[in-house]
Structure 1
Amino acid sequence: MSGVSERQTLGRDLTLYLLARFGLIAVVAVVLVLVKVPLLVALAVGIVVGLPVGLLAFRGLNARVTAGLAARNERRAKERAKLRAELREAE
């Protein structure tokens, strides 16, 4: 896969993952507001409940994002090593 394609895929997956997690928090908060829980309390509970549930509910998307970030970090480490080698040769 090319670098541009990997970046686009990682960006898309990361965006979807964040939107899904925030959406889950919003759903929990809305349900609580509908049962007459004050908005700030509903948001706090939504965050406390939604974030760990999101880790479980969106496990596949989380794995794709993690794999994409790991691949990007590996590619960047190789590029850094190559640049350092070139700089050592230039001295």
Structure 2
Amino acid sequence: MTVVQALEEIRQNKAVVIIKIHSSRCNHCFALDYIPNLSIGDEITVENYWNTLTYKVIDKQIHKKDESADCYITEGRDLLTLITCVSNGRGGFDRFYLISERK
């Protein structure tokens, strides 16, 4: 399935979308480092070729890198999960999950 086909599937149907992006320095800003600062109830906007999708943050979780966390794959729910790395305070990194549901 191409990216365009996947976006069309999301536009037409309820879907679970998981985006995992490495948190790293890029052009003097940290990609996705702002995600842990979002709060329950905040909105996330995703634009695709056809429209703008708006999601509401419903949960925040931190998991160890070797844990395969529940990404809220629930039939009938239209969810977006953003995953990035956060410091564990001991020189390593955990995974931060931000789960949101389409409005």
TM-score (norm 2): 0.21
Bigger fraction of residues in strand: 2
- Give the number of the structure whose alpha-carbon radius of gyration is greater: 1
Bigger fraction of residues in helix: 1
